Amino acid sequence: MNEKLFTVRLSEDGGAVEIIDQTLLPNTIKYLRLEKAEDIWEAIFSLRVRGAPAIGVAAGFGMYVLAQQISDEDYDAFLGEMERIGAYLDSSRPTAVNLSFAVKRMLAVVHNHTGLVKSQLLPLLKAECMAVYNEDRAMCRAISENGLTLVKNGDGILTHCNAGALAATEYGTGLGTLLLGKELGYEFKVFTDETRPLLQGARLTSFELNHAGIDVTLICDNAASLLMKQGKINACFVGCDRVAANGDTANKIGTRSVAVNAKYHGVPFYVFCPSSTIDFSCRSGDDIVIEERSGDEIKTMFFEKPVAEAEVKCFNPAFDVTDAELITAIITEKGIARYPYTESLAKLFL
């Protein structure tokens, strides 16, 4: 992303989570300083900060910010409050495992230092949330480098949703190979699905790629199949919100349609995945909780007038699960996993 923009960071004084408000992009660039638990929760719930790694990083920073506000010095009272704060932030969105991953890491700091008082725990908590952030940067870089081994200069790439710097740190995951590739002289021709209903592809991916000087063309979600038939797509690149042990992958609603289309047309379908997004406690996609959001996102949110009558029912799942068999490879920071993923992911990570 443009050097001057950032997605999420800890404020210099350590007293707030600072984010760019993604609901206003691309038209308005506005940063928010979040100091209260309710504001951090709302920012994640409303997708002001979004994308699996970014909400994990925001939750980690949030736990540290809120830890400083706990009035008790005593260990047990501090632990109790931290557990309450962690459960609250974790309740903002259910599908991306990075959120609970970061909350668990922050809580583990307190659990692993029984008897320390607040003033002793705070520096450890600050170091842990910074580690979550810095590890994400390193993972995104490594994933991007690994992805470059799968493509060649000039390739046509289809993306869905936004898995760039706005969804993570620095390069992001699904867009990282494109952003890093650009820096190294690759010229890709990228087609980005607009990604109904919240338009992360239109509002965020086309913004990020355009500002990086990458050739990007915005398409309606339902145009992807035609482009594949026309031979314009050499590979599909997507991020992920939770990958089960068998490789079933939850990502933005519509991802599964892209994968089914890709399989039919013989186009490789790649999932870019930091280890913080793999949940080995989910045996398959059936164990993944899918977030359901308000029908207003479909009917009214981006329209001057409602596009359907008030009494018409809506079903608005925010994610779907792409079956492992549809995924050509899962690109991680430790290497590239291929089907069957129960074995290949375990070999890389367990």
Applying CB under 6 A, the site for ligand MRU has a residue count of: 20
CA–CA distance, 287 with 309 (Å, rounded to integer): 35
Q: Work out which of 105, 203, 242, 252 binds ligand MRU, going by CB under 6 A.
A: 252
Q: Is residue 333 a contact point for ligand MRU (CB under 6 A)?
A: no
Interstrand relation of 215-219 and 189-193 (parallel, antiparallel or unpaired): parallel
Stretch that binds ligand MRU, among 30-38, 51-59, 128-136, 342-350 (CB under 6 A): 51-59
State the sign of the Cα–Cα–Cα–Cα dihedral 148, 151, 154, 155. Answer: negative
The DSSP annotation for 275-303 comes to: GGGEETT-SSGGGSPPPB--THHHHTTTS
In the complex, the smallest distance separating the C-beta of residue 238 from ligand MRU, rounded to whole angstroms, is 6
Q: Is residue 331 a contact point for ligand MRU (CB under 6 A)?
A: no
CA–CA distance, 164 with 1 (Å, rounded to integer): 8
Contact assessment for residue 16 and residue 37, using Cβ atoms and an 8 Å cutoff: no
Stretch that binds ligand MRU, among 24-32, 33-41, 114-122, 238-246 (CB under 6 A): 238-246
Contact assessment for residue 58 and residue 8, using Cβ atoms and an 8 Å cutoff: yes
Q: How many CB atoms neighbour CB 287 within 10 A? A: 15
Stretch that binds ligand MRU, among 79-87, 143-151, 235-243, 325-333 (CB under 6 A): 235-243
Considering only residues 7-46, where is the footprint of ligand MRU by CB under 6 A? none
Q: Is residue 254 a contact point for ligand MRU (CB under 6 A)?
A: no
Contact assessment for residue 288 and residue 187, using Cβ atoms and an 8 Å cutoff: no
Stretch that binds ligand MRU, among 28-36, 50-58, 121-129, 326-334 (CB under 6 A): 50-58
| Residue showing tokens 């908590």 | 125
- Report the first-to-last Cα separation within the chain, whole angstroms: 33
Query: Reduced to 3 states, what is the DSSP secondary structure of residue 31?
Result: strand
| Residue showing tokens 């969105």 | 93
Interstrand relation of 319-322 and 249-252 (parallel, antiparallel or unpaired): antiparallel
Nearer to ligand MRU, 67 or 97 (CB): 97
Query: Between 94 and 113, how does the x/- string for binding to ligand MRU read (CB under 6 A)?
Result: --x-----------------
Name which of 174, 173, 75 is nearest 124 in CA terms.
75
Q: Is residue 239 a contact point for ligand MRU (CB under 6 A)?
A: yes
Nearer to ligand MRU, 234 or 255 (CB): 255
CA–CA distance, 94 with 45 (Å, rounded to integer): 10
User: How many helices, marked H, and strands, marked E, lie in the chain?
Assistant: 12, 14
Single-letter residue type at 56: G
Q: How many CB atoms neighbour CB 117 within 10 A? A: 14
* Active site residue ranges: 241
Nearer to ligand MRU, 96 or 106 (CB): 96
Nearer to ligand MRU, 188 or 319 (CB): 319
Query: Between 198 and 227, how does the x/- string for binding to ligand MRU read (CB under 6 A)?
Result: --x---------------------------
Nearer to ligand MRU, 78 or 101 (CB): 101
CA–CA distance, 208 with 26 (Å, rounded to integer): 9
Stretch that binds ligand MRU, among 65-73, 169-177, 180-188, 228-236 (CB under 6 A): 169-177
Q: Is residue 56 a contact point for ligand MRU (CB under 6 A)?
A: no
Q: Is residue 85 a contact point for ligand MRU (CB under 6 A)?
A: no
Q: Work out which of 7, 92, 206, 251 binds ligand MRU, going by CB under 6 A.
A: 251
Q: Is residue 163 a contact point for ligand MRU (CB under 6 A)?
A: yes
Q: Work out which of 52, 57, 109, 214 binds ligand MRU, going by CB under 6 A.
A: 52
Nearer to ligand MRU, 109 or 254 (CB): 254
Residues that bind ligand MRU (CB under 6 A): 47, 50-53, 96, 161, 163, 167-168, 172-174, 200, 239-241, 251-252, 318
